[in-house]
Amino acid sequence: MRGLCLLPAMRQVDEATAFHLRERLDADIRTVGVFVNAEPERIRVLCREGVISVIQLHGDETEETARPLREETGCPVIRAVRVQDRLKLEAARNTFCDFLLLDAWRGDGYGGGERP
């Protein structure tokens, strides 16, 4: 899968760029939109338009956000969980998603790992 990063970050692209990139890719390539606390309607539009085929929720989205996105778009949902401690890891087991991504904890932001 190829990812289109749609979160406030160095690798962020706007919707127009995402549409342009999708047009240039082979139709068989599955694309992943990465979102941090984005408006659900923004995600729905990108799914409906075929820009992304997989939704990755990387923020503080709730079950009330994730489940309807999956049901309404038919796109699989990846939930990124920032693992701070054992309790957070155990709680991740009950998270609604098709795929679970365990991410490093950073107290100052999302995405884990070091920033250049």
| SS3 state at 58 | coil
Q: pLDDT, tens digit, for every residue of 27-64?
A: 899 999 999 899 999 999 999 999 999 999 988 898 88
pLDDT at 108 over 70: no
Q: pLDDT, tens digit, for every residue of 56-97?
A: 998 889 888 999 999 999 999 999 988 888 887 888 888 889
- Tell whether pTM > 0.85: no
Residue type, 104: A
pLDDT at 3 over 50: no
Helix count and strand count (H, E) for the chain: 4, 5
* Distance from C-alpha of 14 to C-alpha of 73, rounded to nearest angstrom: 20
Looking at residue 94, its pLDDT comes to 84
